[in-house]
Amino acid sequence: MFETIQKQPADKILALVQAFKNDPRPDKIDLGVGVYKNADGVTPIMRAIKTAEKQLWEAETTKSYTGLAGDPAFSDAMIELVLGAAVPRANVAAVATPGGTGAVRQAFDMAKLANPDLRVFVSNPTWPNHLSILKHMALEMVPYRYFDDATCGVDFDAMMTDLAQARKGDLVLLHGCCHNPTGANLNLTQWQAVIDLLLKTGATAMIDIAYQGFGDGLEEDAAATRMIAAALPETLIAASCSKNFGIYRERTGILMAVAADSGAQALNQGTLNYLNRQNFSFPPDHGARLVTMVLTDPQLRADWAAELEEVRLSMLGLREQMAQELQRLSGSDRFGFLAQHRGMFSRLGVSPELVETLRADFGVYMVGDSRMNIAGLNKTTVPVLAEAIIKAGG
């Protein structure tokens, strides 16, 4: 019977990973999938995670099931990391999920239970898998304008005009920090205006926060999420531990549903547990346990935060080097936005043809919309890439 299934489209980002692997050129540069790499091109296991893993190996006595929501200590630690003291803990329902993507999927599922005719407002552009999941779930997507091709910043007026069309029963998907794929972000004044607009329209906010600590710092990157959760009566938050704890393959994420009071929280917790049970039953535990150990042990936490800060600063350094190099080669400031963008990605704002030339002629792999993973660079490859961009006509 399976011959009746239409061939599914390949994921653009994952297809790029394969194409890069297949390329025999030794000097090829991988700026595709969002995985952090150090200056040697290695994705390291963070020191605190390695230590926690050793401790866990010694201390763990059972692999029996946790609860449907995962270990409550993981929820507590992550709610504190993401939300700080912005909302009462008693108002937050949470479940561990397989990665941030699992949380995104559960969030859409929950919203669909609430409103079968759900419309989801998504930034144009957004992470391609947001769109793919929504399509798979046959949910209606409403793109809102976000990126200004001319400035490579946020087209805030257009964004606000489009979001004004949202209404109660709609979900508005926002990137908490480090917008993927563009790297262009709102400032706090703009976030406040978005909050005021959401309050006016009655739409529900859903925040995807996958890069906390990669932009301006752990606290700074959570600021918008905290403002939104504190101001709106209900907010969904999908958070990933893949990047900031470097535990990509452990599939560690969490979905939080912030409610206005503890009565609504109890209902939400039941809904989230139910959704976990239907979709995969118990969530993975290993990564969640490591995260909990790191966040609750002051020494491990300090070491983790210090290493994360090193990662953040190295990406910022590469951004500045890249902007300067392009300024020198092009004689113009038109790539200055690279130093303003935050997070792992920047959209370079060049044509798909130029992206293809970079791949074919220079062995540079970036996503077709010209999203590049800054962490795929190092001090030596920045000038090589800058020269390739200019030579290719950028």
**Minimum Å distance from CB 210 to ligand LMR?**
6
**Minimum Å distance from CB 97 to ligand LMR?**
14
**Minimum Å distance from CB 17 to ligand LMR?**
9
In the complex with ligand LMR, the residue whose CB is nearer, 36 or 362, is 36
User: Side by side, which strands form the sheet with 140-145?
Assistant: 92-97, 253-258, 235-240, 204-209, 170-175, 119-124, 140-145
* 195 closest CA partner among 222, 160, 158: 160
**Minimum Å distance from CB 89 to ligand LMR?**
29
Cis peptide before 125 (omega within 30 of 0): yes
What is the distance between the alpha carbons of residues 384 and 321, in angstroms, rounded to a whole number? Answer: 12
In the complex with ligand LMR, the residue whose CB is nearer, 51 or 212, is 212
What is the distance between the alpha carbons of residues 169 and 113, in angstroms, rounded to a whole number? Answer: 11
**Minimum Å distance from CB 91 to ligand LMR?**
29
**Minimum Å distance from CB 130 to ligand LMR?**
10
List active site positions: 127, 208, 210, 243
Taking CB atoms, the residue at the shortest distance from ligand LMR is: 34
Distance of CA 86 to the CA centre of its chain: 21
In the complex with ligand LMR, the residue whose CB is nearer, 121 or 127, is 127
**Minimum Å distance from CB 105 to ligand LMR?**
12
Q: Give me the long-range contacts of 18-23 (CB less than 8 A, separation at least 24).
A: 19/359, 19/365, 20/365, 23/363, 23/365
What is the distance between the alpha carbons of residues 260 and 253, in angstroms, rounded to a whole number? Answer: 23
What is the distance between the alpha carbons of residues 264 and 95, in angstroms, rounded to a whole number? Answer: 15
- Residue type present at position 293: M
Three-state DSSP class for residue 391: helix
In the complex with ligand LMR, the residue whose CB is nearer, 127 or 191, is 127
* 43 closest CA partner among 269, 249, 212: 249
The 3-state DSSP composition of the chain as helix, strand, coil percent (nearest 5) reads: 50, 15, 35
What is the distance between the alpha carbons of residues 106 and 97, in angstroms, rounded to a whole number? Answer: 8
In the complex with ligand LMR, the residue whose CB is nearer, 99 or 283, is 99
Which residue matches tokens 């270990």? Answer: 71
In the complex with ligand LMR, the residue whose CB is nearer, 166 or 287, is 287
In the complex with ligand LMR, the residue whose CB is nearer, 135 or 277, is 135
What is the distance between the alpha carbons of residues 183 and 322, in angstroms, rounded to a whole number? Answer: 14
Between β-strands 235-240 and 29-30, what pairing exists: parallel, antiparallel or unpaired?
A: unpaired
In the complex with ligand LMR, the residue whose CB is nearer, 119 or 347, is 347
What is the distance between the alpha carbons of residues 377 and 381, in angstroms, rounded to a whole number? Answer: 6
What backbone phi and psi angles, to 5 degrees, belong to 346? -140, 140
Tokens of 80: 């504190």
**Minimum Å distance from CB 241 to ligand LMR?**
13
User: Which stretches of the chain bind ligand LMR, using CB under 6 A?
Assistant: 13, 33-34, 127, 129, 180
Which residue matches tokens 């690279």? Answer: 338
